[in-house]
Amino acid sequence: MSLLVVGLSHRSAPVSVLERASLNADAQLKLLQDTVAAEPAAEAAVLATCNRIELYADVDKFHAGVAELSTLLAQHSGVGLEELTPHLYVHYEDRAVHHLFSVACGLDSMVVGEGQILGQIKDSLARAQDLHTAGRLLNDLFQQALRVGKRAHSETGIDRAGQSLVTFGLEQLAAGADVRTWARGRKALVIGAGSMSSLAAATLARAGVAEIVVANRTFERAERLAQILSEGDDTDVVARAVPMDAVPAELTRADVAVSCTGATGLVLTAGAVAATMEGRAGAPVAEPAAGRPAGNPAVATVVREAAETPLPAAGGDENCPLDLSAAQSGFSVMGEAAVAGMDAATLEQHGAWAASGTTVDRPREAGRPNPEADAELISALAATATRVGRVPERRRPEPVAEVPRPQPVLFLLDLAMPRDIDAAVHRLAGVRLVDIESLADASADAPMAADVDMVRRIVADEVAAFGAAQRAAHITPTVVALRSMAADVVAGEIARLEGRLPGLDDKHRAEITQTVKRVVDKLLHAPTVRVKQLAAEPGGAGYADALRTLFDLDPETVASVSRAENSTEKNRGPA
């Protein structure tokens, strides 16, 4: 067995890299075809989900296989090999088996214990079988992974250790509230009609939303999903389908929107969501910077009143890098006039001085524009000036009161990879966005249930059993070739006997033939059974070579048996 897996996931790569490396259906098919066409690989399968891309192969050379699979992943993902390599992981033989079994059980998922991965593994196997890139090894591996995953979910409480990505995402949207209470009576928009979107729609329906609108590029699929939701026995949700161009209008009516499409670009931009919020609320949607009005009427009033208040005398702040005495009289409470034209280096000096009384001597960067390039630092200092009434003295400034963020009225859940919803939506007031990246952060500290340890023991046992079975199977073609050679010897000896005894009747000929076969079978039984047992143990691969050498077996005969078994396995359906 020379099983190799090269891949990347949410554990090894940031979301930005996973997004760019994601493979659509056509890219996955081409990757499979190119992998089996490559010299080191005989079989191949791709497992591509929203948070992992893994290429499995049966290779005859480890280092050449790693290099080839890594190069192919880079070529088909569009991410350069130098950028992709630091995020790739490699597992070989038993470690590769252990990895896939752990994935199948949900141990390697973003949300521990989620069961959707089993369907994705089944789809990966079916895809490889359709293209005839899965032989005996990958058929056995993936089908066993499916059985191990089902066993883990049936024999343990791994489901309690985590929820499906959809459920976990809705819990994050609800921000600690009961999902059913939070969802009851809301209107939901589901963008996409694939497996993940369908699961999201069904979950929302069971949670008690009043209405679900399904939008999809293929309108017929949206209609089919809406019909299934409407006819469900366990819910009374009202569901209808709309074309994709109706999404902006439907978003103004929706309380919750879930998006999971196969689009390569954004489905909802920050501008589109901002326009939706302005349309539904007539209020500003930009998240204000700390201490700045940003259009907020209440803050603007405070600033206006503060501007009318006489400014306290600057006084003599010894060694202060800002020459306050040189500032024009009557500069505003916002402090713009006091700091106008000052570069970042000077402002940084003042910050260090105000905090500790130490002046930092840092020369101005050559060619740095002024003052536009320093606008952010100037604004920060101005915000502090607003709070304390003047440019800070040599003491640590009091924290600036932040403008409260309004309660969300639109909840967005982005389950797509690459993302469907612009990450900049996080900054819009009145909107709560949960995406793959925030789900990863939220689940990082999730408690591990005791059942996880039980699943790990199951995985370890199954890996050992699979390795033993594969090592035993490796010697099977040699045993078959040995028995075939013995049968040929028996046939030759019987033919020779008939030449010497031409008058031998059929009854005696059959009896002699049967006797010779029994003798040969008894002589071969103990060695072949024992050699299978020995081959199943770690390090037992050499017994097949020893058997071939001792009985002078034709290597081509053994290889032909292997090819016959392999061609049969390639067309075997998934478990």
The CATH number of whichever domain residue 204 belongs to comes to 3.40.50.720
pTM for this model (two decimals)? 0.58
With respect to residue 397, please indicate whether it lies within any of the assigned structural domains. Answer: no
- Cα–Cα distance for residue pair 449/161, rounded to 1 Å: 5
What is the number of domains present in the chain?
Answer: 3
First and final C-alpha spacing in the chain: 21
The reply to whether 190 and 149 lie within a common domain is no
The reply to whether 101 and 181 lie within a common domain is no
Per-residue pLDDT of the chain (575 residues; tens, 9 = 90+): 589 999 999 888 888 888 888 888 899 999 999 999 887 888 999 999 878 999 999 998 899 899 999 999 999 988 999 999 999 999 998 899 999 999 999 888 877 777 788 989 999 999 999 999 998 899 999 999 999 999 999 998 887 655 567 888 888 899 888 889 999 999 999 999 887 788 889 889 988 999 999 999 889 989 999 998 888 777 788 999 999 999 999 999 999 999 988 777 899 999 899 988 886 744 444 444 444 434 434 333 333 443 444 434 444 445 555 554 444 444 333 344 445 555 556 656 666 655 555 554 544 444 444 545 455 555 666 665 555 555 554 444 455 555 566 678 899 999 887 789 998 898 888 899 998 888 877 766 555 557 788 999 999 999 988 988 877 766 777 777 777 888 888 888 888 888 888 877 888 888 888 888 888 888 888 877 777 677 666 665 666 677 777 777 766 665 665 555 555 454 454 45
Question: ω before 404 within 30° of 0 (cis)?
Answer: no
Both tokens of residue 561? 């048996």
Catalytic residue, from 50, 105, 260, 320: name it: 50
The reply to whether 15 and 82 lie within a common domain is yes
Question: Which residues, in sequence order, are CB contacts of 336 under 8 Å at separation 6+?
Answer: 378, 382
Q: Which domain holds residue 193?
A: 165-281+406-444
The reply to whether 158 and 175 lie within a common domain is no
The reply to whether 33 and 144 lie within a common domain is yes
Binding site listing? 49-52, 109, 114-116, 120, 192-197
DSSP class per residue in 225-254: HHHHHHT-TT---EEEEEEGGGHHHHHHH-
DSSP assigned state of 428: B
How crowded is residue 518: how many other Cβ atoms within 10 Å of its Cβ?
Answer: 10
With respect to residue 248, please indicate whether it lies within any of the assigned structural domains. Answer: yes
Across the beta sheet with 41-49, the strand order is: 41-49, 52-59, 3-9, 89-92
The reply to whether 48 and 118 lie within a common domain is yes
Of the candidates 379, 381, 376, the residue with the CA atom closest to the CA atom of residue 391: 381
CA 244 to chain CA centroid, Å, is: 26
DSSP assigned state of 290: T
Q: Is 50 a catalytic residue?
A: yes
With respect to residue 554, please indicate whether it lies within any of the assigned structural domains. Answer: yes
- Residue in the structure block whose two tokens are 């067995």: 1
Burial (CB count within 10 angstroms: exposed 0-12, middle 13-18, buried 19+), residue 478: buried
Binding site listing for NADP(+)? 192-197
Do 162 and 106 meet the contact criterion of CB atoms below 8 Å apart? Answer: yes
With respect to residue 265, please indicate whether it lies within any of the assigned structural domains. Answer: yes
In this structure, what are the phi and psi dihedrals at residue 311, rounded to the nearest 5 degrees? Answer: -80, 135
Binding site listing for substrate? 49-52, 109, 114-116, 120
The reply to whether 151 and 29 lie within a common domain is yes
- Cα–Cα distance for residue pair 425/254, rounded to 1 Å: 16
